[in-house]
Structure 1
Amino acid sequence: PCSKLEVRNFTKAFLPVAYSLICIIGLVGNTFVVMTFALYERTKSMTDVYLLNMAIADILFVLTLPLWAVNYATHEWIFGDFICKITRGVYAINFSCGMLLLAFISVDRYIAIVQATKSFKLRARTLAHSKLICLAVWVSSILISTSSFLYSESYSFSTNETKKICDQRFDRMSESIMLKSLLLCLQVGFGFFIPFIFMIFCYTFIVKSLQQAQNSKKNKAIRVIVLIVAVFLVCQVPYNIVLLMTAINMGKIDKSCESDKIMAYAKYTTEAIAFLHCCMNPVLYAFIGVKFRSYFVKIMKDLCCMRYKKYNKRGSRTNSDVYHSKQSSETLTDNGSSFTM
Structure 2
Amino acid sequence: MENITSPFIPNPTCNFSMDLYYHNSFNRSDLNCTPPADYFFYADLYVVLPVIYSVICAVGLTGNTAVIYVILKAPKMKTVTNMFILNLAIADDLFTLVLPINIAEHLLHYWPFGEVLCKIILSIDHYNIFSSIYFLTVMSVDRYLVVLSTVRSKRMPYRTYRAAKIVSLCVWLLVILIVMPFSVFAGVYISPDDTERKSCVLSFPSPESLWFKASRIYTLILGFAIPVSTICILYTMMLYKLRNMRLNTNAKALDKAKKKVTIMVFIVLAVCLFCWTPFHLSTIVALTTDLRTTPLLIGISYFITSLSYANSCLNPFLYAFLDDSFRKAFKKMLECRPA
Q: Identify the match of residue 226 of structure 2 among 194, 204, 209.
A: 194
Helix, strand or coil: the match of 1:145? helix
Q: Are positions 1:165 and 2:208 aligned together? A: no
Note the C-alpha offset of 1:285.
4.8
Q: TM-score, normalization: structure 1?
A: 0.76
Cα deviation, residue 118, structure 1: 5.5
Alignment counterpart, residue 32 of structure 1, candidates 62, 66, 86: 66
Q: Is the 8 A contact 2:110 2:197 kept in 1?
A: yes
| Cα RMSD for the two superposed structures | 3.0
Residue 296 of structure 1 pairs with residue 330 of structure 2: yes
Find 2:283's aligned residue among 232, 243, 248: 243
Tell me if structure 1 keeps the 8 A contact 2:261–2:323. no
User: Is the helix fraction higher in 1 or 2?
Assistant: 1
Q: Aligned runs of 1:33-182 on 2, under 5 Å?
A: 33-42=67-76, 44-117=78-151, 121-122=155-156, 124-125=158-159, 127-160=161-194, 162-172=196-206, 174=207, 176-182=208-214
In 2, distance between residues paired with 1:158 and 1:266?
Answer: 30
The more displaced of 123-132 and 93-102 is 123-132
* Displacement after TM superposition at 1:16 (Å): 0.7
Shift of 1:291: 1.4
Gap change, CA 1:238 and 1:68, over 3 Å in 2: same
Equivalent pair of 2:147/2:254 in contact (CA under 8 Å): no
Q: CA deviation at 1:119?
A: 7.9
AA matched with 2:283: L
Counterparts in 2 of 1:3-14, with a 5 A limit?
A: 3=35, 5-6=39-40, 9-14=43-48
Aligned pair in 2 of structure 1 residues 45, 38: CA closer, same or farther (>3 Å)? closer
Inter-CA distance 219–44: structure 2 relative to 1 (3 Å threshold): closer
Note the alpha carbon deviations across 1:74-125, whole angstroms, 9 max, x for none: 2222222211111111122232122100111111112112431558643634
**Partner Cα separation in structure 2 for residue 96 and residue 222 of structure 1:** 22
Question: 2-side partners of 1:93 and 1:123: how far apart?
Answer: 32
On the 8 A contact 2:111/2:199 being kept in 1, the answer is: yes
**1:256 aligned counterpart, secondary structure:** coil
**Farther off after superposition, 66-75 or 285-294:** 285-294
Spell out, residue by residue over 1:4-51, the C-alpha distance to the aligned partner (whole angstroms, 9 max, x if none): 634862541222111111111111111111111211245644322211
Q: Secondary structure at the match of 1:129?
A: helix
CA distance in 1, matches of 2:153, 2:287: 41
Structure-2 change in CA distance of 1:297 and 1:120 (3 Å): farther
* One-letter code aligned to 2:285: M
Contact 1:76 1:163 (8 Å CA) reproduced:
yes
Question: What's the CA shift for 1:197?
Answer: 1.9
Identical-pair percentage: 28
Q: Which runs of 5+ in 2 are unaligned?
A: 1-32, 246-251
RCO higher in structure (CA 8 A, sep ≥6): 2
Q: Distance in 2 between matches of 1:223 and 1:118?
A: 20
Instruction: Please list every run of 5 or more consecutive structure 1 residues that lacks an aligned counterpart in the other structure.
Output: 306-310, 313-341
* Structure 2 Cα separation of the partners of residues 136 and 223 of structure 1: 25
Provide the rounded CA distance (Å) in 2 between the counterparts of 1:239 and 1:271. Answer: 7
Contact 1:51 1:286 in 2 (8 A): no
CA spacing shift, 1:95–1:256, aligned 2, 3 Å: closer
Candidates 308, 312, 325, aligned match of 1:278? 312
* Contact 2:139-2:265 within 8 A present in 1 as well: no
Once the two structures are overlaid, the 10-residue window that deviates more, 45-54 or 123-132, is 123-132
Single out whichever of 12-21 and 223-232 deviates more from structure 2: 223-232
State which of 284, 287, 300 in structure 2 corresponds to 1:266. Answer: 300
- Corresponding pairs, count: 297
Please state whether the residue corresponding to 2:204 is helix, strand or coil.
coil
Structure 2 counterpart of 1:90, one-letter code: I
Q: Give the residue type in structure 2 aligned to 1:195.
A: P
Asked if the contact 2:127/2:176 (under 8 Å) is kept, the reply is yes
